[in-house]
């Protein structure tokens, strides 16, 4: 029986709880522009880069200035993040230690900017737990495009059939699917109404994660890729 050769983790909503801060920043900026009751549009930001999310917002509000809107949203997001701190998804740090101890590559693949990742996690955590971070700062097409996941696979020399993704958002899940990757749906703050039908498993958060549980996930992966069971 084989085992995973690598792990690719989303950041916002999967490791840290920041999606609500981005949604709040969007609501405040739209209210400043006389637009209320737009909370249902918050999902356009989930899993995407800021620029991709703002492009979608502009299709709803073409009269607004995209550059001004984006700058103001990010200002508010950073202020709210600094004011209240960032909460980790329960068990996330324990899980990072677990994954790091398995001796296979671990990468962060996120629509956040590189400086935001380092600002939230710190240099020590990033360097200690990740072999690679792929961020919006790398200039790749935003999720749901598979570009970021494909870049991580190529850089680390990973076989997609033996690589596991942890994701929470529709855009991120679609990105991993297009890259041919199995994924675990992290439900803690997921905007989806329930476990994604294509997930090999769903977890509420990271608590209780173990090598045995990861091995069980691998067995489920084998049902989708029977050639990868050795």
Residues in the chain: 230
Among 17-26, 57-66, 168-177, name the one with the lowest average pLDDT.
17-26
* Average pLDDT for the chain: 90
Residue-level pLDDT at 29:
86
Q: Which pTM was predicted?
A: 0.86
pLDDT tens, position by position, 91-109: 999 999 999 999 999 999 9
**Residue 160 tokens, joined:** 């997609």
How would residue 228 be classed by pLDDT, with cut points 50, 70 and 90? very low
- CA distances (Å), origin 181, targets 5, 129, 193: 12, 21, 22
Task: Give how far the C-alpha of residue 135 lies from the chain's centroid of Cα atoms, to the nearest Å.
Answer: 10
Cα Rg of the chain (Å, integer): 18
Domain at 6-17+87-224: CATH code: 3.40.50.1000
| Omega prior to 144 cis, within 30 of 0 | yes
Locate 189 and state its tokens. Answer: 């703050």
The token duo for 194 is: 């329930």
* Domain parsing of the chain, residue ranges: 6-17+87-224, 19-84
């Amino acid at each position: 029986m084989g085992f995973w050769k690598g792990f690719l983790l989303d950041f916002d909503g999967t490791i840290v709880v920041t999606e609500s801060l981005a949604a709040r920043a969007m609501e405040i900026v739209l209210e400043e522009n006389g637009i209320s009751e737009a909370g249902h549009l918050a999902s356009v930001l989930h899993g995407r880069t800021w620029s991709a999310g703002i492009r979608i917002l502009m299709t709803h509000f073409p009269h607004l200035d995209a550059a001004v809107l984006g700058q103001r949203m990010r200002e508010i997001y950073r202020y709210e993040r600094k004011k209240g701190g960032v909460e980790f998804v329960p068990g996330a740090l324990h899980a990072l230690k677990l994954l790091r101890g398995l001796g296979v590559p671990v990468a962060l693949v996120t629509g956040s900017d590189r400086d935001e990742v380092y600002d939230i996690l710190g240099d020590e955590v990033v360097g200690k737990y990740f072999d690679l971070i792929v961020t919006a700062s790398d200039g790749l097409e935003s999720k749901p495009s598979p570009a970021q996941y494909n870049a991580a696979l190529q850089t680390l020399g990973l076989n997609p059939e033996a690589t596991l993704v942890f994701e929470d958002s529709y855009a991120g899940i679609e990105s991993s699917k297009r890259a041919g990757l199995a994924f675990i749906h992290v439900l803690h703050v997921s905007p989806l109404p329930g476990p994604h039908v294509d997930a090999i498993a769903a977890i509420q958060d990271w608590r209780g994660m173990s090598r045995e549980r990861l091995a069980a996930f691998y067995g489920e992966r084998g049902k989708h890729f029977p050639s990868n069971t050795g």
